[in-house]
Structure 1
Amino acid sequence: MSELIAGVTQSLDQGEWTRRYTGALMNTFGPPQRVLVRGEGCYVWDADGNRYLDLLAGIAVNSLGHAHPTLTGAISAQLGTLGHVSNFFASPVQITLAERLTELTCAGPRPEAARVFLTNSGTEAMEAAVKLARRHGGADRPRILALEGAFHGRSMGALALTHKPAYREPFEPLPGGVEHLPFGDLRALEEAFAAPGQVAALVLEPIQGEAGVRPLPAGYLAAARELTTAHGALLILDEVQTGMGRTGTWMAHHHPQVGGGIVPDAVAVAKGLGGGFPVGALITLTEAAATLFQPGQHGTTFGGNPVAAAAALATIHVIERDDLLTQVTSTGEHLRTAVAGSDHPLVAGVRGAGLLIAVELAEPVAAAAAQAALRAGFIVNPVAPDALRLAPPYVLTTEQADSFVAALPQILNEARQ
């Protein structure tokens, strides 16, 4: 098998691989910035042998970095034992993962009613959340509320929740009933619940990732929980990007200043859950949400398969064993402080939590800065015209973070030119 992989990753240069890419794949992402062939820890290498410090981690996915031995060992061992069985059957790793997720999703004791629907991705978790809201609302509660700036996925239901017109307009008409409220505006939220027509659910990201790493204002989630409870609506949190330790706690809403101890009805997770292996989940924490789906009303072929469950359990194990939540907190604070103190005129500020960070720029040169960073050996993401997103592996060291901070002034100088 190693010979097969070696044959696929034969020694071709970037130009040849890019030519083959454009002749074989749909043009949904544009030409690849680089063709990557290997990874180890926080570094990846391209087809020309250049090394990059991966400060994006596959968009907040590779929480343990690349080729982590515990993760690769767990996947290999499970695949060599039992790979796929369909959901006509269960497996011990599937059941154990569901139990762990109900424990980790709550800031306090695990609710007895908590249940899990396992998926392959964050989009699928959010699609399940949309259907959950519809099951709860029915004809009597037709409205689902989301926020301006929201990104919840690209399937039709999740896309209806997503706000960005460029994502939505090519595929309209989308499923109806979704209203987007001004970001962080409590008065607008209160007015939405007071308006005619019952609300089935309110869907929120504690920190909007694709909108530029924008945290909800302090107290907003607590007020959202009060309103949804008072009006019989579900509160659904999209923690696909922020969950599983990305912000220094298992869930972003666990931070006292963010969630204030609330218990949402449902939480969607994915990305960092499998450390790079595709897996997601919709976790319901209240009886009102956990009992909505009945046999035959929703399903998935691959969701909860033994290999994905083993990958997720291994990722959780390493985060706990190596105390990576503490490392995420300390390294994230170090990186944010260092970038904010870089004293470059283009650095307007830093926002985020843990290792989900946006470098705010004084000019809309993020795309040029990301390309300059790539040339310098760093992978970052121009998440907005005036913001660079950093979402590195949890195993990032302060020395690695400092190498980026040291290079940042020159990167920004190039971007300005």
Structure 2
Amino acid sequence: MTAGSELLGRYARSMVPVFGTPQLVLASGDGCWVTDVDGRRYLDLLSGIAVNALGHAHPALVQAVAKQAEAAIHLSNFFTSEPAIALAERILQIAAAPAGSGVFFTNSGTEAIEAALKLSRRTGRSKIVALEGSFHGRSTGALALTHKAAYREPFEPLLPGVVFVPAGDEQALRDAVDTTTAAVILEPIQGEAGVRELADDYLRLARELTTSTGALLVVDEIQCGIGRTGDWFAHQRSGVVPDAMTLAKGLGGGVPIGALVTFGDRVTGLLEAGQHGTTFGGNPLACAAGLAVLDTIERDDLLEHVVTVGALLDDLDVEGVAATRGRGLMRAIELDGIPAPAAMEAARNAGFIVNAVTPTALRLTPPLVITADELQSFLAALPTILEAAKGAGR
């Protein structure tokens, strides 16, 4: 019995089985590589589902967390800390948020969405327009905004008043958004739907409709934000300024943190003292990690790096690949007649971690620090991986 199989047996006997059986038991990581408990190394092309923005054990992040742990890890929300203030200021700066904007820190993306829901309720309205294919989290409030029936139906009835419209359908959006709408909530790039990007014109229309009706425009940048697309936030390329934005995943580089960002006095003032809160949100340890991530992205010019290296995934001429989509280092490889789960397993057997995000597509969200050579090593192995997956599916 290997160390991994022994630990997976213990896992099955001790954990609630919501994740099924894990693929591996990982022991450590270094840069863009992880090692399992049996000593096998893998190139991590998923980075914790777009979380490990700086890869694993990045010196800047390790040092920031260690230094802050020696000073203070948690202080409670009766107080604040310099890292929390500095990180809020930095987020507002890179978001180009106007005066009067604000940040509320959470522990996860789901919690950031919950905060956005409460913000929308303060408009005095209750109708929420969300998109088909959306994924916003698994708590009961966030789940109400998540389109996939398999996630929603076991827990219904959920929060009422949510209307789903086809992503990218301008007329459907026009028909849905009216003066009873509290908010339109959307992901500029829908990650769990298979890395499907909304057009800039669609985002601009959402902004126009919400402005004219008095609704809020909330952009969910939890997966596509923090430099993953080559911009700080995926919506910025469109020129749209939202009313609120949710963040998490890459913000802490692996340390749990999320945020609701409000744009301008009117929106920031919707939530008053005592109307929302969190015990662990904004703790100095997580905020120090967030500062280290943002500082490193800027210092090492990783936004440009993401664009350059990500271009290697454009228009792959590989047998078995039907198309690629996405932007920067948030990508999907659509397969032609090859089951994505079989391709994911073949990739793992070849030493690469990817994700079968849909039955026909592989998702790649590698660390922003991945090198061209590391990504090329996967591309060189891809034909063999897909051939093995094709054989497994026969």
TM-score by length of 2: 0.97
Equivalent residue number for residue 241 of structure 1:
223
Equivalent residue number for residue 4 of structure 1:
none
Matches for 1:271-282 after TM superposition, within 5 Å: 271-282=249-260
- Alignment check: 8 A CA contact 1:55 1:380 kept: yes
- Is the aligned partner of 1:68 residue 2:58? yes
Quick one: which amino acid aligns to residue 206 of structure 1?
A: P
Equivalent residue number for residue 6 of structure 1:
none
- Alignment check: 8 A CA contact 2:338 2:389 kept: no
- Alignment check: 8 A CA contact 2:316 2:324 kept: no
Q: How far, CA to CA, are the matches of 2:205 and 2:227 in structure 1?
A: 24
Matches for 1:45-60 after TM superposition, within 5 Å: 45-60=35-50
Equivalent residue number for residue 369 of structure 1:
343
Q: How far is 1:290 from its partner?
A: 0.6
Q: How far is 1:415 from its partner?
A: 1.2
1:88 to 78, 84, 96: 78
Aligned length: 391
Q: How far is 1:159 from its partner?
A: 0.5
- Alignment check: 8 A CA contact 1:125 1:282 kept: yes
Quick one: which amino acid aligns to residue 229 of structure 2?
A: T
Identity of aligned residues (%): 56
Q: How far, CA to CA, are the matches of 1:211 and 1:363 in structure 2?
A: 19
1:211-236 Cα offsets, whole Å, 9 max, x none, are: 00000023000011011000000000
- Alignment check: 8 A CA contact 2:343 2:385 kept: yes
1:313-343 Cα offsets, whole Å, 9 max, x none, are: 0111111111111111100012x13xx3333
- Judging changes above 3 Å, is the alpha-carbon distance between structure 1 residues 12 and 90 closer, same or farther for their aligned structure 2 residues? farther
Q: How far, CA to CA, are the matches of 2:33 and 2:334 in structure 1?
A: 24
- Is the aligned partner of 1:166 residue 2:150? yes
Q: How far, CA to CA, are the matches of 2:126 and 2:5 in structure 1?
A: 51
Give unpaired runs (5+ residues) of structure 1: 1-10
1:221 to 197, 200, 203: 203
Q: How far, CA to CA, are the matches of 1:28 and 1:245 in structure 2?
A: 30
- Judging changes above 3 Å, is the alpha-carbon distance between structure 1 residues 364 and 148 closer, same or farther for their aligned structure 2 residues? farther
1:63-82 Cα offsets, whole Å, 9 max, x none, are: 00000111011001101001
- Is the aligned partner of 1:327 residue 2:305? yes
Q: How far, CA to CA, are the matches of 1:24 and 1:117 in structure 2?
A: 35
Matches for 1:376-391 after TM superposition, within 5 Å: 376-391=350-365
Equivalent residue number for residue 380 of structure 2:
406
Equivalent residue number for residue 119 of structure 2:
132
Equivalent residue number for residue 360 of structure 1:
334
Q: How far is 1:364 from its partner?
A: 5.3
Quick one: which amino acid aligns to residue 399 of structure 1?
A: D
CA RMSD of aligned residues (A): 1.2
- Alignment check: 8 A CA contact 1:143 1:178 kept: yes
Give unpaired runs (5+ residues) of structure 2: none
Q: How far, CA to CA, are the matches of 2:9 and 2:133 in structure 1?
A: 35
TM-score by length of 1: 0.92
- Alignment check: 8 A CA contact 1:342 1:405 kept: no
Quick one: which amino acid aligns to residue 119 of structure 1?
A: T
- Is the aligned partner of 1:315 residue 2:293? yes
